[in-house]
Homo-oligomer: A and B are copies of this chain.
Amino acid sequence: MIKVSLNGYGTIGKRVANAIFLQPDMKLIGIAKTSPNYEALVAQKMGYRIFVPENSIKSFEENGIKIAGTIEDMIKESDIIVDATPNGVGAKYKEIYQKFSKKAIFQGGEKANVAEVSFSALCNYDEAVNKNYIRVVSCNTTGLLRTICTINSISKVEKVRATVVRRAADPKEVKKGPINSLVADPVSVPSHHAKDVNTVLKDLDIVSMAVIAPTTLMHIHLLNITLKSQVSKEDIINKFLETPRIVLVSRKSDITSTAEIIEVARDLGRLRNDIPEVVVFEDSIYVKDHEVFLMYGVHQESIVVPENIDAIRASMNLASREESIKMTNATLGIRSGYLI
Instruction: Point out residues on A near B: beta carbons under 8 Å.
Output: 14, 35-39, 41-42, 45, 63-64, 171-174, 179-180, 214, 252-257, 259-260, 262-264, 266-269, 271-273, 340
Contacts and interface: CB of A to CB of B under 8 A. Distances in A.
Please state the number of chain copies in the assembly. 2
A144 to B, nearest CB: 25
Given A36-B252, A38-B260, 6 more contacts: A37-B255, A38-B263, A64-B252, A180-B180, A272-B273, A273-B273
A22 to B, nearest CB: 13
Contact of A42 (B38, B256, B264): B264
24 contacts: A36-B252, A37-B253, A38-B253, A38-B254, A38-B263, A38-B340, A39-B263, A41-B340, A42-B264, A42-B268, A63-B252, A171-B259, A171-B262, A171-B266, A172-B259, A172-B260, A172-B262, A174-B259, A179-B180, A179-B214, A266-B272, A266-B273, A269-B272, A273-B273
B264 A38 contact: yes
Contact of A14 (B14, B36, B267, B340): B267
A37 B14 CA distance: 33
B260 A45 contact: no
Nearest to A172: B263
Contacts of A262: 171-172
A244 B174 CA distance: 29
Contacts of A173: 259
Given A64-B252, A180-B180, A252-B63, A45 B340 contact: yes
Contacts of A38: 253-255, 260, 263-264, 340
A260 B174 contact: yes
A275 B335 CA distance: 28
Contacts of A255: 37-38
A332 to B, nearest CB: 14
Nearest to A269: B271
Give 6 closest A-B pairs by Cβ, nearest first: A172-B263, A266-B272, A38-B253, A37-B254, A42-B267, A63-B252
Contacts of A259: 171-174
A271 B266 CA distance: 7
Contacts of A264: 38, 42
